[in-house]
């Protein structure tokens, strides 16, 4: 099936990142040579942000997050790229950085 991936015999739906919305806004503050990332999103066992990733043309950094944890990450600035946040209920969101 074109556009889909399979894993262990299971067809997985294509996963595309959406632009951030009000509930899934990613706030970025530049502090010296780092990006400070925060989100105001639920972090309970049923609904939480599972990871935040900073992706540039030649690197990927992933910060794993867990329920009941504050959403606060720092990444060393490496130029233009994208921030991704994955919500366990609503999927993948992307913001230019
Ligand atoms: Fe969500």
Q: Is residue 5 included in any domain, yes or no? A: no
Residues having C-beta closer than 5 Å to ion ligand 1:
87, 89-90
- Residues 54-85: tens digit of each pLDDT: 999 999 999 999 999 999 999 999 989 999 99
- Residues 41-50: tens digit of each pLDDT: 999 999 999 9
CATH number of the domain that residue 58 is part of:
2.60.40.730
Q: Exposed/middle/buried for 39, CB within 10 Å: 0-12, 13-18, 19+? A: buried
* Angle of CA points 24, 46, 81, to nearest 5°: 30
C-alpha 90 to ligand 1 mean position (Å): 5
Q: Is residue 25 included in any domain, yes or no? A: yes
Q: Higher pLDDT residue, 49 or 6? A: 49
How many Å from the N-terminal Cα to the C-terminal Cα in the chain?
33
State the total domains in the chain.
Answer: 1
Model confidence band, residue 2 (pLDDT cutoffs 50, 70, 90): low
59: domain range? 16-96
């Amino acid at each position: 099936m074109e556009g889909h991936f399979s894993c262990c015999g299971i067809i997985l739906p294509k996963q595309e990142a959406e632009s951030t919305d009000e509930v899934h806004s990613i706030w970025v503050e530049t502090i010296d040579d780092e990006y400070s990332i925060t989100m105001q999103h639920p972090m309970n066992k049923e609904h939480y942000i599972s990871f935040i990733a900073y992706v540039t043309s030649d690197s990927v950094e992933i910060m794993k997050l867990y329920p009941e944890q504050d959403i606060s990450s720092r990444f060393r600035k490496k130029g233009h790229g994208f921030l991704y946040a994955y919500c366990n209920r609503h999927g993948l969101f992307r913001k230019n950085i």
